[in-house]
Amino acid sequence: MTKFINLHTHQFSNLSDVIEVVNQYPWEFNDSLPTYSIGIHPWYIDENRLESDLKKISEKLKLSECLALGECGLDKRIEIPMELQTSVFKQQLEVVKQTNKPIILHCVAAFEEVIAIKKELKVDNPMIIHGFSKNEQVAHSLLKNGFYLSFGKYLLRNPELEKVFKFAPENKIFLETDTIEESIYEVYEKAAFIKGISVEEMKAIVFRNYASFFKINP
């Protein structure tokens, strides 16, 4: 049976029909999780432990249960200087470039910068914007530059996002819960409704993307 894929969550639910990519931080790592991503979120940059954090990320990215780097990225709405954010982001990208693992991105008001860094560092690893909430113009720009888009909270909360999700190519989309209370099943139901397909068809689309994106043999 095709499983639901939850591309990004902070809460491990241990559901038998769901594969969850659980967000982990290097400084509070849980070895018991079956599938996860690991990264330094721009909100939680601590220069005092940066070296040890990067070392832990490098170690974990070598493991099969570590599916991706992330979440990491840039956020213009926080007080941490962009220069420091950019430096930490680039250092993480240099680590993940040694692997073929994808990157789950936190990006707030910094899409042009993220696109520019992808080009500057010649990042070939797949990159996905999690929790996408912007308009069609931003979506077009990201898709044109090879990014994937993951939808969750804002798909449930913002009717304006429905038209973006409707036009988004099937081979470029993921679904997630992040930190919302709603279940991944509710996200899939809403996504399927917007696309005008069944939940089973929606599951098949996202699972195909998961298998391709994460180099998983179904």
Do the domain assignments include residue 218? no
Give me the mean pLDDT over the 105-112 stretch: 97
Give the model's confidence band at 125: pLDDT under 50 very low, under 70 low, under 90 confident, else very high: very high
Output the pLDDT for position 10: 96
Output the pLDDT for position 213: 87
Q: Which of 163, 101, 102, 93 is nearest to 132 (CA)?
A: 163
Do the domain assignments include residue 58? yes
Output the pLDDT for position 217: 61
CATH of the domain at 16: 3.20.20.140
Do the domain assignments include residue 159? yes
Tokens of 192: 């399927």
Give the model's confidence band at 54: pLDDT under 50 very low, under 70 low, under 90 confident, else very high: very high
pLDDT higher than 80, residue 113: yes
Domain count, the chain: 1
Give the model's confidence band at 151: pLDDT under 50 very low, under 70 low, under 90 confident, else very high: very high
- Domain that residue 70 falls in: 4-213
Q: How confident is the model over 173-195, as pLDDT tens digits? A: 999 999 999 999 999 999 999 99
pLDDT over 90 percentage in the chain: 97
pLDDT higher than 80, residue 62: yes
To the nearest whole number, what is the mean pLDDT of the chain? 96
Helix axes 50-61, 82-96, angle to 10 degrees: 30
